[in-house]
């Protein structure tokens, strides 16, 4: 009796898992299927599951109507630039905060932690007028510089360095290593797991970012992919959902690919960070 | 450790502190200053004192925005936590199938807000969307206009947000479940406690720190919701989804009212600080107890 009921519970659990999988995977499936439909089918039977005559016409239209390569390069340069700059600057700063004693240390650390409280959504009004004043609107520099320092990254590097024994650094000094050598060649490799997690998380969130490029770009010169794909719909007249979904596939595939390849690192980052800006 | 040269720590911190001063500290000061001016970015700014704040309060705009943000955020936090906890209990089992479903739920958290917004705009389309089709099939009627009915739109956007961020709560609850000692659960089972009793009196109380953490971080983050609103509803219909960041964005870029946008951003920042303070206070008092 007891065994039968627990087996039923097990089947119920499996069934529930199936429903959950459906709720989270069906939207992707629907995106892919819609992108393969010709316009005529989309109009005649929009909710039919499978396209009767699958076609890549929608993808061709996206490529024809948008300079996708440029947006792709813009987005990659921006996201890579931000993530690389953040790590490059976080290493020496985190080292100074974790390992060196100096006047003003508490003050510097306090300032860095305090800026964690100021999200981009609060500072965008003045930063926009600031960058407009020096002609950095519509440039990649304007997209990268405001995020060049990550308080969180600096904090994580500092925490990780606290557990590195001083003796290791002192030994390198005795061997005549410069401080720069110690930071980038000796300590950076030791922090590899932290740095990889942080890099991937920073890269993906800036690759996906919509807010800042929306605020800071007005033409296609520095426009990024999420912005361009969102515009695809705003320009769209009537039912051109197959084109919008084709664009959406192009936008979400890189993020999903990074996710598939590096899920473990992203999970690690999330448990220390949380979501959002 | 003593630095090799006294100047070392200073130049190592210099780039970081410089960028923080230019892009965080100085902008905050500028924000407060702008909030006392009337400025359209084109003609010279004019000092107006607290007029921006007064008009935001008097017109009821600030209160309205706060209410919209708070109700959508509360729905998002409550929904994503319940879903995350339920899924964590369901998915806390070995096997590739469970691992696959965990990844599926978490993947939504990694995809961009734009992708998710566009996707659900299409799924929820009142005429040719899949959900409208399902509705017609079962209810033989017109589907509700989720996104163009001001009474429904905030909840539709909140539901989409829940879909996207449940993976976050799920991951943290799964980590929390690892810390629930198996031996206590087994002892309770031997004593005849039902699964529901074990959940209510062992697992749930032990998950309290995780719950508190997920709740406060999700609340602070969902107060900053913008992308999904911009993509799906543009704050409408009739301002029913005009959350804080969208209202500020609108003031700045559509109305070119820098002063009012700044005043609203200052108020918004104050609210975020209060929420963060509450979070610290909750955790401190809990540790003290």
State yes or no: pLDDT of B287 exceeds 70. no
Domain boundaries defined on chain B: 61-288
Could you tell me the pLDDT band of residue B153, with boundaries at 50, 70 and 90?
A: very high
Give the closest of A121, A154, A245 to B16, CB-based. A154
State yes or no: pLDDT of B289 exceeds 80. no
Could you tell me the pLDDT band of residue A4, with boundaries at 50, 70 and 90?
A: low
Give the closest of B113, B224, B249 to A208, CB-based. B113
At B58, list the tokens: 């008097």
Q: Identify the pLDDT of residue A219.
A: 83
Q: For residue range A113-153, what is the model confidence (pLDDT) as tens digits? A: 888 888 888 888 899 888 988 999 999 999 999 999 999 89
Is any Cβ of chain B less than 8 angstroms from the Cβ of A14? yes
Could you tell me the pLDDT band of residue B44, with boundaries at 50, 70 and 90?
A: confident
Which of chain B's residues have a Cβ under 8 Å away from the Cβ of A30?
Answer: 119, 122-123, 130
Q: Identify the pLDDT of residue A239.
A: 65
- Residue of B7, B29, B114 to mutate for A, most A C-beta atoms under 10 A: B114
What mean pLDDT is predicted for residues B148-170? Answer: 94
State yes or no: pLDDT of B59 exceeds 60. yes
Q: Identify the pLDDT of residue A236.
A: 60
Higher per-residue confidence, A47 vs B158: B158
- Mean pLDDT value across chain B: 89
Q: Which CATH class is domain B61-288?
A: mainly alpha
Q: Between chain A and chain B, how many beta carbons pairs sit less than 8 Å apart?
A: 259
ipTM over 0.90: no
Q: For residue range A193-248, what is the model confidence (pLDDT) as tens digits? A: 889 989 988 999 899 999 999 988 888 888 999 999 998 887 665 668 899 999 99
Q: Identify the pLDDT of residue B69.
A: 94
Higher per-residue confidence, B152 vs B287: B152
State yes or no: pLDDT of B254 exceeds 90. no
Q: Identify the pLDDT of residue A272.
A: 60
Domain boundaries defined on chain A: 60-272
Could you tell me the pLDDT band of residue A277, with boundaries at 50, 70 and 90?
A: very low
Which of chain A's residues have a Cβ under 8 Å away from the Cβ of B132?
Answer: 47
At B124, list the tokens: 């929820």
What is the value of pTM for the model shown?
0.89
Q: From CA A216, how far away is CA A137, in angstroms rounded?
A: 6
What mean pLDDT is predicted for residues B44-56? Answer: 89
**Does the beta-carbon distance from A118 to B24 stay under 8 Å?**
yes
Q: Identify the pLDDT of residue A237.
A: 57
Binding-face residues of A in 86-105 toward B, CB within 8 A: 89-90, 92-93, 95-97, 99-102, 105
Which of chain A's residues have a Cβ under 8 Å away from the Cβ of B272?
Answer: 117, 119, 122
CATH of domain A60-272: 1.10.3720.10
Give the closest of A121, A252, A275 to B168, CB-based. A275
What mean pLDDT is predicted for residues A260-265? Answer: 84
- Residue of B33, B105, B110 to mutate for A, most A C-beta atoms under 10 A: B110
């Amino acid at each position: 009796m007891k065994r039968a009921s627990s087996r039923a519970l097990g089947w119920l659990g499996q069934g529930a898992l199936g429903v959950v999988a459906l709720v989270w995977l069906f939207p992707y499936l629907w995106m892919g299927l819609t992108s393969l439909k010709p316009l005529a089918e989309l109009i005649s039977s929009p909710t039919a599951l499978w396209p009767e005559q699958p076609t890549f016409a929608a993808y061709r239209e996206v490529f024809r109507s948008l300079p996708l390569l440029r947006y792709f390069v813009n987005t990659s340069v921006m996201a890579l630039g931000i993530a690389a700059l953040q790590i490059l600057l976080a290493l020496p700063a985190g080292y100074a905060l974790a390992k060196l004693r100096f006047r003003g240390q508490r003050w510097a650390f306090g300032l860095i932690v305090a800026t964690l409280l100021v999200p981009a959504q609060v500072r965008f009004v003045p930063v926009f007028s600031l960058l407009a004043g020096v002609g950095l609107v519509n440039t990649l520099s304007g997209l990268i510089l405001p995020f060049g320092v990550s308080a969180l990254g600096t904090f994580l590097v500092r925490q990780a360095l606290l557990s590195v024994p001083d003796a290791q650094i002192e030994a390198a000094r005795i061997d005549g290593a410069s401080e720069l050598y110690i930071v980038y060649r000796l300590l950076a490799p030791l922090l590899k797991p932290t740095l990889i997690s942080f890099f991937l998380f920073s890269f993906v969130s800036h690759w996906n970012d919509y807010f800042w490029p929306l605020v800071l770009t007005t033409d296609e010169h520095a426009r990024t992919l999420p912005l361009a794909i969102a515009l695809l719909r705003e320009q769209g007249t009537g039912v051109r959902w197959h084109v919008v979904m084709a664009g959406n596939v192009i936008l979400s595939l890189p993020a999903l690919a990074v996710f598939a390849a590096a899920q473990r690192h992203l999970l690690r980052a999330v448990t220390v960070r949380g979501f959002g800006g | 450790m003593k630095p090799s040269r006294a100047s070392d720590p200073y130049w190592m911190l210099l780039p970081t502190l410089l960028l923080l001063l230019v892009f965080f500290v100085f902008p905050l000061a500028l924000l407060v200053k702008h909030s006392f001016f009337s400025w359209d970015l084109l003609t010279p700014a004019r000092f107006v004192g607290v007029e921006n704040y007064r008009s935001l309060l008097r017109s009821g705009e600030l209160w309205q925005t706060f209410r919209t943000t708070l109700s959508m955020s509360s729905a998002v936090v409550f929904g994503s936590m319940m879903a995350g906890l339920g899924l964590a209990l369901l998915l806390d089992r070995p096997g590739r199938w469970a691992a696959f479903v965990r990844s599926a739920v978490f993947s939504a958290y990694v995809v961009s807000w734009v992708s998710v917004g566009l996707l659900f705009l299409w799924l929820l389309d009142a005429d040719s969307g899949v959900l409208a089709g399902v509705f017609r099939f079962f209810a033989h009627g017109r589907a509700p206009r989720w996104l163009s009915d001001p009474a429904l739109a905030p909840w539709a956007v909140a539901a989409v947000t829940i879909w996207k961020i449940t993976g976050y709560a799920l991951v943290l609850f799964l980590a929390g479940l690892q810390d629930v000692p198996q031996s206590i659960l087994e002892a309770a089972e031997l004593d005849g406690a039902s699964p529901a009793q074990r959940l209510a009196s062992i697992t749930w109380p032990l998950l309290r720190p995780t719950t508190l953490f997920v709740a406060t971080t999700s609340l602070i983050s969902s107060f900053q919701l913008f992308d999904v609103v911009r993509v799906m509803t543009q704050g409408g219909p009739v301002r029913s989804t005009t959350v804080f960041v969208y209202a500020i964005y609108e003031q700045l870029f559509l109305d070119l009212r820098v002063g009012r946008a700044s005043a609203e951003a200052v108020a918004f920042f104050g609210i975020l600080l209060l929420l963060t303070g509450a979070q610290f206070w909750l955790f401190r008092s809990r540790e003290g107890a």
